């Protein structure tokens, strides 16, 4: 026990001595959460658009006014000719062009029908769909003002309720995602690198010939990072509750229990990486290049898993973050109890055991 | 020149000697480029529905039919009460509840007005927003079907109507992969280049070989160039492989000129590698370099507009993207691949990225001290 304590002290010295790394380790979750909480929002605001008004009459002026006054759009430029549209898109800034046909007001008055064309930059198809919907809504709004005296007969009104997240805050998806991502990446990267570092610098031999059992060497490596991860969890939760206004509906104990389990899983993945690599660079490439994108894209955090092709849906089951994110969403936001997430907890436990078994098999006591 | 040549030989030898890393540099981007863009789909097509039909009338059935045959929605189950449906949402069996209250058909006929309720699982605001938008447009369609069925045409056309036609340029099939593949490719080139360069010099420091380089008659700029050139080639090779995969797997190729793409990537890589080398020079250990580059990569990527449009960010975040080289690269790749923008259209991107290249490499040369 005393030996373990000595080893632990050594590891803590290593970590505390390197203040820059420590700053990144503790500061990164904060920065990431704030970026997600405040910078990345799904709402459309002040998108630059172009207007081509071939009619230039009172009605089109009123509509353009309405568009300009909505918080969604900023009119970046007014075009005169049709062939300017493509150029405006190609230089990149505008995302939408609205074209009014000639004699717009006349047509509307006499034939009860006038045409407006909305052209979207569909480079990003989703954004294009959303923008077209918003622009149509503004124009339809003008139309219903026009028709306000005579109400349409046989109307089906719809009432919409947004469950769990009535203000549609982005934080509701990003907080579970950030937790899943940052705990996995930091824990896996940190442990793998710090073990491989001893190999690369040759100090591993010294550790292995010491009277400590080889496994205690690894455990003393893991414990400090486990504590750092716990600190990260605490900051993330405090920030999300007090700064981002996210509730913790379910049991805090259950949330922390599953988080600890997830950290174990990530740490054992780190140990596994360290047994298959020899240089810090290789360990880093695996944990960053190999883990970062799959965790972001296959965990169901950036993209809904149900929309993916079957093969990827199967593949996503191997990403621990997927299961953890389901747990966090359920416990934190929906407030469900252990009876509905026991399956996920068992899967995480199984993965942890699997990673550890493979590591034990591959761990070389002699170098 | 001769000195530079020998240094380059050393660097290339070191790169080729480490088979594991070499394999990873090429294999990981290839695998990820083949697999990941398939995951990136926001296309909403399988929204699961829990229907609470308390009316059980002809028109409530017609409406439900309209939902299920639209292609966007999949009927998960019928619930008897709203609370039962809520339970289904809680278990993740349903994304959207449609409640048709008792008297739906009767009110529509008698009062000319009736009501239905949508409740969406809004944990992901974006998905919920799209689901409700689709649901509303289905109801609107259904509504005008009823009107044209029940009202004689002349009375119906008496109101002024603005006809909106929408067209999607540059990607008329609304293919999300066309949007995501160039972005992921840009990201992978960035990760490879930056991770390799940011660890390189600091490794020589940690192992101690940097002193040998310091005492030899190598000029500062030769040293930096010898570190930069090998990774520059690696980056361009990874990009070429990426282009090849985009074409073979996804059928995506740049609408614009390849030359402009390579020219931009060439300058971008110089800027990026300069930043990586700068990180490497500032760091004391490989571990430190790693954490610092992890930090920058994450911030650059998150604010780079790969998944979330920059236009939607608040002003302060948009200003941050002006000093984010990654966002220029992602943007250029997309403009080139999807819009076929020309060199002239991209002139400001070129100007800014050249500025980055000069500043970062200047700082790197300035920061390399030949004393210990």
Q: Of B309, B310, B326, which to mutate for an interface test with A (greatest number of A Cβ within 10 Å)?
A: B309
The answer to whether residue A362 scores a pLDDT higher than 90 is no
Please indicate, yes or no, whether residues A82 and A204 belong to a single structural domain of this protein.
no
Q: Do A116 and B165 touch (CB under 8 A)?
A: yes
Cα(B328)–Cα(A33) distance, integer angstroms: 23
B176-207 vs B286-302: helix crossing angle, rounded to 10: 160
In A, which residues are within 8 Å of B120 by CB distance? 160-163
Residue A160 lies in a domain: no
Please indicate, yes or no, whether residues B250 and B358 belong to a single structural domain of this protein.
yes
Please indicate, yes or no, whether residues B225 and B359 belong to a single structural domain of this protein.
yes
List B74's β-bridge partners, or say none: B48
Q: Can you tell me which residue has the tokens 């949007």?
A: B179
Please indicate, yes or no, whether residues A22 and A72 belong to a single structural domain of this protein.
no
Taking CA atoms, what residue in B is nearest to A130?
B130
Q: Do A163 and B345 touch (CB under 8 A)?
A: no
Which range among A44-48, A104-108, B354-358 has the greatest average pLDDT?
B354-358
Output the pLDDT for position B134. 83
More confident residue, A333 or B353: B353
Residue B234 lies in a domain: yes
Please indicate, yes or no, whether residues B238 and B357 belong to a single structural domain of this protein.
yes
Q: Which of A43, A115, A312 sits opposite B312 (nearest CB)?
A: A43
Please indicate, yes or no, whether residues A335 and A259 belong to a single structural domain of this protein.
yes
Please indicate, yes or no, whether residues B34 and B65 belong to a single structural domain of this protein.
no
Please indicate, yes or no, whether residues B253 and B200 belong to a single structural domain of this protein.
yes
What tens digit of pLDDT does each residue of B83-123 get? 888 888 888 788 889 999 888 888 888 888 888 899 988 87
Taking CA atoms, what residue in B is nearest to A109?
B160
Alpha helices in chain B (DSSP H): 2-17, 19-35, 58-68, 82-90, 104-110, 125-150, 153-156, 176-207, 210-215, 220-250, 258-282, 286-302, 315-322, 325-334, 347-367
Q: Which of A89, A153, A157 sits opposite B169 (nearest CB)?
A: A89
Please indicate, yes or no, whether residues B340 and B227 belong to a single structural domain of this protein.
yes
Q: Do B285 and A18 touch (CB under 8 A)?
A: yes
More confident residue, A309 or A267: A267
In total, how many domains does chain B have? 2
Alpha-carbon gap: B156 to the closest alpha carbon of chain A (Å):
9
Residue B279 lies in a domain: yes
Please indicate, yes or no, whether residues A25 and A119 belong to a single structural domain of this protein.
no
Decide: residue A103, CB within 10 A, 0-12 exposed, 13-18 middle, 19+ buried. Answer: middle
Q: Do B287 and A18 touch (CB under 8 A)?
A: yes
To the nearest whole number, what is the mean pLDDT of chain B?
84
Q: Domain residues for B263? A: 14-40+187-367
Q: Do B126 and A42 touch (CB under 8 A)?
A: yes
Please indicate, yes or no, whether residues A341 and A237 belong to a single structural domain of this protein.
yes
Please indicate, yes or no, whether residues A35 and A83 belong to a single structural domain of this protein.
no
The answer to whether residue A349 scores a pLDDT higher than 90 is yes
Cα(B40)–Cα(B176) distance, integer angstroms: 8
Q: Domain residues for A57? A: 47-146
Please indicate, yes or no, whether residues B127 and B234 belong to a single structural domain of this protein.
no
Please indicate, yes or no, whether residues B136 and B232 belong to a single structural domain of this protein.
no
Q: Do B314 and A159 touch (CB under 8 A)?
A: no
Residue A74 lies in a domain: yes
Cα(B325)–Cα(A149) distance, integer angstroms: 54
Q: Do A153 and B147 touch (CB under 8 A)?
A: yes
Q: Of B125, B300, B331, B334, which to mutate for an interface test with A (greatest number of A Cβ within 10 Å)?
A: B125
Output the pLDDT for position B209. 85
The answer to whether residue B153 scores a pLDDT higher than 60 is no
Please indicate, yes or no, whether residues A36 and A63 belong to a single structural domain of this protein.
no
In B, which residues are within 8 Å of A197 by CB distance? 286-287
Residue B1 lies in a domain: no
The answer to whether residue A42 scores a pLDDT higher than 70 is no
Measure Cα distances from A6 to A3, A11, A205, A217, B178 in Å: 5, 9, 17, 11, 56
Please indicate, yes or no, whether residues B60 and B108 belong to a single structural domain of this protein.
yes
Q: What percent of chain A shows pLDDT beyond 90?
A: 14
Output the pLDDT for position A43. 67
What tens digit of pLDDT does each residue of A135-144 get? 888 888 888 7
Cβ(A116)–Cβ(A98) under 8 Å? yes
The answer to whether residue B262 scores a pLDDT higher than 90 is yes
Q: Do A163 and B122 touch (CB under 8 A)?
A: yes
How many interface pairs between A and B have CB atoms less than 8 angstroms apart? 365
The answer to whether residue B332 scores a pLDDT higher than 60 is yes
Please indicate, yes or no, whether residues A67 and A179 belong to a single structural domain of this protein.
no
To the nearest whole number, what is the mean pLDDT of chain A?
84
Residue B181 lies in a domain: no
Reported confidence tier of residue A366, pLDDT bands at 50, 70, 90: low
Q: Of B156, B176, B208, at which residue does a domain stop?
A: B156
Residue A163 lies in a domain: no
Residue B315 lies in a domain: yes
Residue B174 lies in a domain: no
In A, which residues are within 8 Å of B159 by CB distance? 112, 147, 150, 152
Output the pLDDT for position A301. 76
Taking CA atoms, what residue in A is nearest to B104?
A156
* CA proximity to A41, closest of B307, B40, B299, B133: B307
Question: For chain A, how far is it from start to end, CA to CA, in angstroms?
Answer: 25
Residue A159 lies in a domain: no
Please indicate, yes or no, whether residues B216 and B92 belong to a single structural domain of this protein.
no
Please indicate, yes or no, whether residues B216 and B322 belong to a single structural domain of this protein.
yes
Taking CA atoms, what residue in A is nearest to B22?
A282
The model's pTM: 0.79
Please indicate, yes or no, whether residues A231 and A250 belong to a single structural domain of this protein.
yes
Taking residues A29-41, what's their average pLDDT?
79
Please state the ipTM of this predicted complex.
0.74
Q: Do B125 and A163 touch (CB under 8 A)?
A: no
In total, how many domains does chain A have? 2
Alpha-carbon gap: B311 to the closest alpha carbon of chain A (Å):
6
The answer to whether residue B348 scores a pLDDT higher than 60 is yes
Tokens of A221: 């490596």
Please indicate, yes or no, whether residues A100 and A176 belong to a single structural domain of this protein.
no
What tens digit of pLDDT does each residue of A58-74 get? 888 888 888 888 888 88
Q: Which of B112, B191, B302 sits opposite A40 (nearest CB)?
A: B302
Measure Cα distances from B311 to A60, A236, B330, B338 in Å: 26, 27, 14, 18
Q: Can you tell me which residue has the tokens 């996503």?
A: A316
Output the pLDDT for position A260. 94
> Strand order in A155-163's β-sheet?
A155-163, B113-121, B96-100, B47-53, B73-78
Please indicate, yes or no, whether residues B225 and B330 belong to a single structural domain of this protein.
yes
Q: Which of B120, B191, B283 sits opposite A162 (nearest CB)?
A: B120
> Strand order in A73-79's β-sheet?
A73-79, A47-53, A96-100, A113-121, B161-169
Q: What is the CATH number of the domain that holds B73?
A: 3.40.1710.10
Please indicate, yes or no, whether residues A174 and A282 belong to a single structural domain of this protein.
yes
Q: Which of A45, A172, A303 sits opposite B41 (nearest CB)?
A: A303
């Amino acid at each position: 026990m005393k030996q373990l304590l000595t080893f632990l002290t050594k590891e803590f010295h290593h970590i505390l001595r390197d203040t820059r790394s420590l700053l990144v380790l503790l500061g990164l979750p904060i920065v990431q959460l704030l970026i997600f909480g405040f910078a990345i929002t799904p709402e459309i605001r002040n998108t630059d658009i172009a207007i081509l008004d071939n009619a230039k009459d009172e009605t089109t002026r009123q509509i353009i006014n309405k568009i300009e006054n909505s918080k969604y759009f900023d009119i970046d430029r007014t075009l005169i000719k049709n062939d300017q549209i493509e150029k405006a898109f190609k230089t990149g800034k505008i995302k939408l062009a609205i074209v009014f046909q000639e004699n717009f007001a006349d047509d509307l008055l006499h034939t009860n029908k006038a045409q407006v064309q909305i052209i979207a930059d569909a480079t990003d198809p989703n954004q294009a769909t959303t923008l077209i919907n918003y622009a149509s809504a503004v124009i339809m709004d003008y139309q219903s003002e026009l028709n306000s005296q005579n109400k349409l007969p046989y109307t089906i009104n719809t009432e919409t309720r947004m469950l769990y997240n009535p203000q549609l805050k982005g934080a509701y998806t990003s907080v579970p995602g950030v937790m899943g991502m940052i705990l996995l990446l930091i824990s896996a990267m940190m442990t793998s690198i710090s073990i491989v570092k001893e190999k690369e610098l040759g100090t591993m031999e010294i550790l292995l010939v010491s009277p400590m059992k080889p496994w205690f060497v690894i455990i003393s490596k893991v414990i400090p990072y486990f504590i750092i991860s716990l600190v990260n969890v605490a900051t993330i939760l405090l920030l999300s509750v007090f700064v981002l206004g996210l509730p913790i509906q379910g049991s805090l104990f259950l949330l922390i229990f599953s988080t600890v389990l997830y950290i174990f899983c990530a740490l054992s993945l780190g140990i596994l990486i360290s047994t298959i690599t020899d240089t810090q660079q290789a360990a880093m490439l695996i944990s960053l290049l190999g883990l970062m994108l799959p965790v972001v894209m296959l965990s169901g955090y950036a993209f809904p898993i149900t929309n993916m092709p079957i093969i990827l849906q199967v593949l996503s089951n191997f990403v621990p973050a997927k299961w953890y994110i389901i747990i966090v969403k359920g416990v934190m936001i929906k407030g469900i109890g252990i009876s509905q997430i026991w399956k996920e907890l068992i899967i995480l436990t199984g993965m942890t055991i699997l990673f550890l078994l493979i590591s034990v098999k591959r761990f070389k006591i002699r170098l | 020149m001769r000195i530079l040549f020998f240094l380059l030989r050393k660097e290339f030898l070191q790169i080729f000697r480490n088979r594991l890393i070499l394999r990873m540099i090429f294999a990981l981007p290839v695998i990820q480029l083949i697999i990941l863009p398939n995951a990136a789909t926001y296309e909403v097509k399988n929204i699961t529905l829990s229907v609470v039909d308390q009316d059980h009338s002809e028109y409530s059935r017609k409406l439900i039919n309209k939902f299920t045959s639209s292609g966007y929605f999949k009927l998960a189950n019928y619930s008897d009460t709203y609370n039962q449906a809520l339970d289904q949402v809680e278990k993740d069996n349903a994304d959207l509840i449609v409640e048709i209250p008792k008297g739906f058909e009767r009110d529509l006929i008698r009062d000319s007005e009736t009501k239905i309720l949508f409740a969406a699982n809004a944990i992901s605001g974006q998905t919920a927003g799209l689901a409700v938008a689709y649901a509303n447009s289905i109801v609107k369609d259904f509504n005008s079907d009823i009107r044209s069925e029940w009202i004689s045409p002349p009375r119906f056309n008496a109101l002024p109507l603005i006809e909106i036609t929408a067209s999607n340029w540059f990607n008329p099939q609304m293919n999300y992969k066309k949007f995501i593949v160039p972005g992921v490719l840009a990201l992978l080139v960035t990760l490879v280049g930056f991770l390799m360069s940011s660890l390189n010099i600091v490794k020589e420091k940690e192992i101690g070989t940097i002193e040998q380089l310091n005492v030899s008659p190598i000029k500062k700029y030769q040293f930096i160039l010898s570190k930069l050139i090998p990774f520059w080639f690696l980056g361009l090779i990874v990009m070429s492989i990426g282009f090849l995969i985009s074409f073979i797997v996804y059928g995506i190729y740049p609408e614009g000129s390849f030359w402009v793409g390579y020219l931009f990537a060439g300058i971008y890589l110089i800027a990026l590698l300069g930043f990586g080398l700068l990180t490497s020079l500032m760091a004391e250990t490989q571990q430190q370099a790693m954490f610092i580059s992890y930090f920058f990569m994450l911030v650059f990527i998150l604010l780079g507009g790969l998944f979330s449009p920059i236009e939607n960010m608040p002003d302060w975040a948009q200003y941050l993207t002006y000093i984010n080289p990654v966002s220029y690269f992602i943007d250029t790749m997309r403009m080139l691949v999807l819009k076929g923008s020309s060199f002239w259209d991209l002139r400001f991107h070129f100007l800014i990225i050249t500025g980055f290249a000069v500043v970062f490499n200047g700082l790197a040369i300035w920061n390399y001290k030949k004393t210990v």
